[in-house]
A and B are shown apart, each in its own frame.
Chain A
């Protein structure tokens, strides 16, 4: 299932035809993939440059004044993987390997937990899933570092940690701490999407794990398509991020049959013009892009035009994007929202 399926190709051609800006074809030798609008390419390249230049020698990202840790490194790693450059021999192959080593080296050998919070665990697990099978890790480790695990082993361990955490949780979801008995839809989304990506990458994830998590999301979804944050009923506000997380989770879990999926998707597609709230705009876009793409490609096409316009105006001169969680997260999530235009990441397959 690696590669771009035919429907996506059609979509891009239709999309390109709609945009009035010139569409630049690229030599097939440079990238494997689709022609993308020039605006998208320019925004992505500038952001990519920012991330490539701001990676530390240790392989993680500490600049940009915000969140850092395995989840953040994972997000940035996905941006590198989604660029279309060959991860093993291309422009960013060194960056990719450094990031992978950094993530794996932080994993607890006993529990498989990447640390900091289950948010980090979820995003790190997702990044490893996307790298698994794509990055040749035979020569990943060069010295005698501790934790010299392969991507596959690390991923297996990570999945086990997530499952163990869920087992302790009476709600079937996840919260910040792996030992928590409470859950929220934001952390749960990060972990569940990571698990689904691992399963798609070939790691065994029991159905009951996914079913329980989907059950949790269903219980948090109202008939109208709104999704609560935590606790037994709706949160305090309309959250496009949570609605998108739920939509994406149902879709990747192949549960588009659920009425909750139809409700959340309809909520999103009826409000395409609703720009993300000021708070967590990048986080919202990251999930909204994937939710619409997985749920309704035509709606995504329309929404994507708006996304490109917004990112074009909000990108900083150095290529970064600001955000509540700092420039690394802001840039990574903005670019990953845009990366649906490339569709290089397996998680973006429909």
Chain B
């Protein structure tokens, strides 16, 4: 006889449509990533949160992720970017000048010295730098940014997107969208005359619209706009009477970018557009009949993708910049003249710049100097990294070292090494990340390459043989890291070896009717959501199957149930007992004919009445005919099932029951996260998973591929505690199944930790869970639940007329109270919450008595003496109208009381509150004040 350890069991094919069972494993299961963690992005789109550790040399960054025991070593050539967390508030850099250097570098500061070959700059936050003249590109007056209204972008903060910011993401502060029709807008308080400089880029297709000087979405249509017309990028404006348009550049398919300067005069209706180097591109005139200056900008991604990389807005004096010979060194003087010639030096003693124009020296005071363009003189030097600072400065160069949370760079042309502390950086960019095709490939065929997905990390790579790297947990070698690292204990995630198949759309009812009968039945079976359909040997009764909450399935014989769990025997395990809390379904008759169950019926079945909230049913059983019964299963033997239904014990014949579904109390809270079950064996719990078991054999054994497997049902999930990886064979132990092993080359995914339960929660059977009935509004503390009384459909409509007898014998007619604010309080003496709020309402209404606010308490269908007794007890004197037949309450939809209605002076329902609570008085006071101040009700659709 074979022992457990030597037996192998093939898990034979499943026949049914598996696409149903595995909705795409989305990032949603990962939960929120710590927004304060730095993230490294690699050239192959991998990323992982963590922090930079000290390193020396120019070749690699040492990166410690909280999910891994030891750091990774990522070569600088594989770096895309490190994004550091940004503080809530960003400071603008000070300094007199903005210096643009070679390689796109930008710094702000003051000029200490200017020599023919070298400039000495004092840079904000960095210090004094000796800069080679050959890398100076441009220098212009910055004045500490006072002329600058905006320099960015730095994230989505401050921007408003219609329909939520869903369509927009921020990447390194830049605004990115690939969602069709995504619109984002921001008000900058742009003055009537302003200068803009912006850079937009796209990866696949440009189809955007950038409108400048906009107020709201409507005004954007009349604003100056940059847009894409087929193969052209244009600037345009269309007013009530005129339209002007100019082509700016060709729009080639695929990746592209545009970098422009624009000068806008909203009063005159004029827009001047220049290239980034100062070449005039367009001069548009289209004045509106009623010129208006708007302060905002709106960017729309129409059908392409777009990235706003840079946007600066500054004041403009309205003088058109002159045309320039852009390739020549030149100086723009504040009087508008342009001097062609190099800026030779700065005479610090005299405080003047020395310029050579046509061989003649000229001297200019600093306040005469507007903008200096140096001629381009140097080829690109070796730069591998660019440090982008939070204050928008950027410097690039080669890596020297990482030390004490600071990156040291050697920038070509700058004498001093640059220290860039991580807390002052927004991004560390890799400037030459290797192309995908140049990235290293794993050649070892025994290794299965996959994609590890954890909270805050996606890393392609492979699991490392535990015989070479001994570890208590799984060890991962990212393809782009020089070193592997072991997962920390308790980490949850998944390794994707093959992505799950795409979910197919559900056929429509008409399509189903058009299908052959057999296929219809299959669809219905799917609609019934029975779970994993299982293969049937022809003409043979199938074994019962236990489905665990982890997603594992166990074929079993002789299952019996008591109040603690299921006792069984199974050919695939020596275990004979599973606790209730580990179980999801026992399919007694797996081949049960599917019966259609409507969504409504299913919802009704799974609704937990409030009465049973503290005594929820624990099982749902389905008969072979498709009937369902909820209750508490007390026991099941070979013949009978004893079930407690509403505290009465009923006996059912076991052969009439097709399956038993366990309903767990912890499933009722829809927001609760699944928790790990089982796992009493120390180590990392994993679940091997395959979408296509026809071709795969998951084996449960520690040794070889010996024949002799029994024909049993075929789970496609196997959960166990991983203990060893030998080549591609991962082995371990399951509390339930004993020794387990899987060949990684045959599985599609490997789930780790609590991700097992999260993934199983999406299985069809796992959708059968109780849902708590909602509380009526009046039953909640605070009654109307903090609402503002504007939720009712009656709000904003004319108040239904009321004509009632009063308790004091007079008559009440609502229409006779026009120009009063009338408070209606629907109540009855048997209604505790009503009596609780009545004194509050009375008190609050009294406060407003001199402002024409009146209270009428409308009593529902009670006798006079009862009403009087109630008022006497409450020591209240208030006008009570008698709604003897409940008609008025019906008109006002008062199906739950207390209900309090505020009717404004025009006879419209201004507010309607259902429920009371201890703080209702305050709520009512606020509402009356709002109605008195004429604040209109907000229609529900606007909220």
Tell me if B314 is interfacial: C-beta within 8 Å of chain A: no
Are the CB atoms of B832 and A232 closer together than 8 Å? no
Q: A20-B635, A21-B563, A275-B613 are in contact. Are A236 and B873 (CB under 8 A)?
A: no
Interface contact A236-B836, CB-CB below 8 Å: yes
Asked if A273 is at the interface (CB within 8 A of a chain B CB), the reply is yes
Interface digits, A211-223 against B, CB 8 Å rule (1 contact, 0 not)? 0000000000010
Are B615 and A273 in contact, CB atoms less than 8 angstroms apart? yes
Could you say which residues of chain B place their CB within 8 Å of the CB of A302? 647-648
List B contacts of A271 (CB < 8 A). Answer: 611
Q: Is the CB of B835 within 8 A of A18?
A: no
Q: Contacts A273-B647, A305-B644: A233 and B836 contacting too (C-beta < 8 A)?
A: no
A231 interface residue, CB < 8 Å from B? yes
Residues in A neighbouring B562, C-beta threshold 8 A: 20
- The complex places the Cα of A303 from the Cα of B646 at a distance, in Å, of 10
Asked whether B830 lies within 8 Å of A273 as measured between CB atoms, the reply is no
Q: Distance in Å from the Cβ of A309 to the closest Cβ of chain B?
A: 8
A147 on interface, CB distance cutoff 8 Å: no
Interface assignment of B869: CB less than 8 Å from any CB of chain A: yes
**Mostly helix, strand, loop or mixed at chain B's interface?**
mixed
Whole-angstrom CA separation of A232 from B648 in the bound complex? 39
B609-662 interface with A by 8 A CB criterion: 611-615, 634-635, 642, 644, 646-649
Residues of B with C-beta under 8 A to A297: none
Report whether B611 and A273 are in contact in the complex, using a CB–CB cutoff of 8 Å.
yes
**Contact call B870/A233, Cβ cutoff below 8 A:** yes
Contact B646–A233 (Cβ < 8 Å): no
Q: Please, which residues of chain B bring their CB within 8 A of the CB of A263?
A: none
Which of the residues B614, B642, B649 comes within 8 Å of A275, measured between beta carbons?
A: B614
Bound-complex Cα distance A272 to B614 (A)? 12
Residues in chain B near residue A237, CB distance under 8 A: 832
The listed residue (B647, B649, B832) touching A306 by CB distance below 8 A is B647
Known pairs A222-B830, A271-B611, A302-B648; A232 contacts B869 (CB<8 A) = yes
A274 contacts chain B at the CB level, 8 A cutoff: yes
Q: Mark A163-201, 1 if CB is under 8 A from B, else 0.
A: 000000000000000000000000000000000000000
CA distance A302 to B830 in the complex (A): 30
Which A residues between 246 and 269 are near B, CB-CB below 8 angstroms? Answer: none
B215 at the interface (CB under 8 A from A): no
Q: Which residue of B lies closest to A18 (CB)?
A: B649
A231–B830 touching, CB < 8 Å? no
With both chains docked as a complex, state the minimum distance between the C-beta of B535 and any C-beta of chain A, in angstroms: 35
How many whole Å from A324's CB to the nearest CB in chain B? 17
Residue of B nearest to A19 (CB): B634
A18 to B830, CA, bound (A): 40
A20–B648 alpha-carbon span in the complex (Å)? 13
Q: Is the CB of A233 within 8 A of B829?
A: yes
B848 to chain A, nearest CB (A): 27
Measured between alpha carbons, how far is A21 from B634 in the docked complex, in Å?
A: 9
Contacts of A18 in B (CB 8 A): 649
A234 engages B830 (CB within 8 Å) = yes
How far apart are B752's CB and chain A's nearest CB, in angstroms?
A: 33
B919 on the interface (CB 8 Å rule)?
A: no
Residues of chain A within 8 A (CB-CB) of B646 are 272-273
Q: Which of A1-38 contact B (CB under 8 A)?
A: 18, 20-21
**Contact present for B644 and A273 (CB under 8 Å):** no
Enumerate chain B residues within 8 angstroms of A275, measured Cβ to Cβ.
613-615
* Alpha-carbon separation in the docked complex, A274 to B869 (Å): 31
A233's partner among B563, B615, B635, B866 (CB-CB below 8 A) is: B866
Q: Which residue of A lies closest to B829 (CB)?
A: A233
Q: Quick one: closest A residue to B644, CB to CB?
A: A305
**Beta-carbon nearest neighbor of A302 in chain B:** B647
| CB <8 Å contact, B647 and A236 | no
A310 interface residue (CB < 8 Å to B): yes
- Chain B residue at minimum C-beta to C-beta distance from A278: B614
Contact B832 A235 (CB under 8 A): yes
Within 8 A of A (CB), among B597-616: 611-615
| Per-position 1/0 for A290-330, Cβ under 8 A of B | 00000000000011011001100000000000000000000
- B866: A residues at CB distance < 8 A: 233
Beta-carbon contacts of B144-164 to A below 8 Å, as 1s and 0s? 000000000000000000000
Q: B833 at interface (Cβ–Cβ under 8 A)?
A: yes
| Closest B residue to A305 using CB positions | B647
Kindly name the residue among B613, B634, B832, B870 whose own CB sees the greatest number of chain A CB atoms within 10 A: B832
* Cβ < 8 Å to A, chain B residues 861-905: 866, 869-870, 873
Q: Cα distance A274–B866 when bound, in Å?
A: 30
Residues of A within 8 A of B870 (CB): 233
A293 to B644, CA, bound (A): 20
A233 touches B869 (CB 8 A): yes
- Quote the shortest CB–CB distance from B289 to chain A (angstroms): 67
**B-side contacts of A273, CB under 8 Å:** 611-612, 615, 646-647
Q: In angstroms, how far is the closest chain B Cβ from the Cβ of A212?
A: 21
Which chain A residue lies CB-closest to B633?
A20
Q: How far is the CA of A303 from the CA of B921 in the complex (A)?
A: 41
Question: How distant is the Cα of A309 from the Cα of B563 in the complex, in angstroms?
Answer: 11
Most chain A beta-carbon contacts within 10 A, residue among B614, B829, B873: B614
Interface residues in chain B, defined as those with a beta carbon under 8 Å from any beta carbon in chain A? 562-563, 611-615, 634-635, 642, 644, 646-649, 829-830, 832-833, 835-836, 866, 869-870, 873
Complex A-B, nearest 9 residue pairs according to Cβ-Cβ distance, in ascending order = A236-B832, A275-B614, A302-B647, A20-B635, A20-B634, A273-B611, A18-B649, A237-B832, A274-B611
Residues of A within 8 A of B (CB): 18, 20-21, 222, 231-237, 271-275, 302-303, 305-306, 309-310
What are 6 A-B contacts defined by CB distance under 8 Å?
A20-B562, A234-B832, A236-B833, A271-B611, A275-B613, A306-B615
